[in-house]
Structure 1
Amino acid sequence: MRQLVVLGLIGSAAFATAAAAATTDLGMIDRAVVDFTGSQIGQPGGARLPVDRRLKLSSCSTPLDLSWFGRDQRSVQVACPSAGWKIYVAVDGGPVGQSRETQAPAEMLVRRGESVSILVRGHGFTLTRQGEAVEDGAQGEWIQVRADGKRSDTLRAMVIRPGQVGIQLP
């Protein structure tokens, strides 16, 4: 009986070692997301963070399939058709699908009086509220905005893309 338990443990350890050896390189996923978004990790338009290194994804024998995910394209879906897994990588604000270098300099993306979505982002959450721009702004500029229903109070928010501004909480 003791021999069966020992053999079972050895077999489990060998299987775990073989499974660990057959995992997808997470750095490869990071590079694929950078290529797909056109922006580096932590930069506007790029992934917020590298893929969590604790993930153990089975080896992918086919090219990764990347696509924008979500109504506001705030994530990139990375899928491996051959292994049957998919993960979602959060994307930081910025021009979707183009880098800062390809955007025309000082192009006004938000105009005074325009209706905007105000995103308030913190660690692990995003809140959205409609508002109105109090001044014009180009991508990356901080402008005054007023939340709907508040006629006197204004907030400072960064222009993310046309019709969208954001505030990052610590």
Structure 2
Amino acid sequence: MARAFALLILSCLIAAPAGAVAGPDGFEDIARLESRVVAALDADVATPGGPLTHLDRRLKLAACPKPVTIDPPALGALPLRCEPLGWRIRVPLMRVPGAQPAPGTPAMAAAQPATPAAPPLIRRGDPVELRATSAGFTVSTAAIAQEDGRAGGKVRVKTDARGPVVIGDVVDTGIVRVASF
């Protein structure tokens, strides 16, 4: 009897890896994930600097075997990711009144005085090389620009006519870089 109980305890420990935050249904515990987001931002839901709304409780994310990584806010959202499983979500943030918009956002561009525009390095319909670099290696593929792009700006590209739109940074003539893949 004691041996069967010990085997049951051992099998539970193996089935639930350290750091996993699974709900009763085996998916990521969204309420606990939301509380981590609120703690990381030090702002409650629907308050300036905090998440815009509550995380959707219908969201079914596989339980991450390690703690979910909370990246710094970028482009008005807080990225959350589970590296071992490869899922990631972005939590929209409520803007802080009177705060300076982040560089590169449309609000920041509107706040700056007009300067003469540099000619685009990439034109809509141009073939481009889409690059992603990580940990000492680079992956690249062919894509088609969906809009004009200037050096240092963002541009939408598609790798396939039916594929999703990818947003990347214009590096040089015909070269677009994505932050991650």
**TM-score (norm. length: structure 2):** 0.41
Q: Choose between structure 1 and 2 for higher RCO, CA contacts under 8 A separated by at least 6 residues.
A: 1
Richer in strand (by share)? 1
**TM-score (norm. length: structure 1):** 0.44
